[in-house]
Amino acid sequence: MRSDVVKLIIAVILDVLDFTVGRIPGFELFFDAAMGVAAVVMFGWSGLFAFWEIGDPTGNVDAFVPTLTIIALTQMGKNRKKNLEADPSSDRSHDD
């Protein structure tokens, strides 16, 4: 669980950088490629979705879509569901 939170924090930081630094003309293509590689390293095959940002030559549209954050949140949900299925007694959301 902690690794998921760390990945989410890194993803948010990278998305903020994409919104700011990643919009520099001429630099956005390099930055989007680097973000795609970082996404694959952090999330495996699911990280390949981050490469869609290369398709925006202006760098404006993809800056407003927090792709890595979305991938991180979906992976957290998937991992949580997988953990609950493996050990139903570890569900702490129903603590009374």
Residue type, 16: V
Q: What is the pTM of this model?
A: 0.78
Domain count, the chain: 1
**Looking at residue 77, what is its pLDDT?**
77
- For residue 6, is it within any domain? yes
- For residue 61, is it within any domain? yes
- For residue 92, is it within any domain? no
SS3 letters across the chain: CHHHHHHHHHHHHHHHHHHHHHHCCCCHHHHHHHHHHHHHHHHHHHHHHHHHHHHCCCCCCHHHCCHHHHHHHHHHHHHHHHHHHHCHHHCCCCCC
Can you give the residue range of the structural domain that contains 41? 2-83
User: Given pLDDT bands bounded at 50, 70 and 90, which one contains residue 61?
Assistant: confident
Instruction: Please say if the pLDDT value at position 96 is more than 50.
Output: no
Cα distance between residue 21 and residue 63, in whole Å: 10
- For residue 72, is it within any domain? yes
**Looking at residue 56, what is its pLDDT?**
81
- For residue 55, is it within any domain? yes
pLDDT digits (tens, 9 = 90+) for 4-53: 899 999 999 999 998 988 888 888 889 899 999 999 999 999 999 999 98
- For residue 89, is it within any domain? no
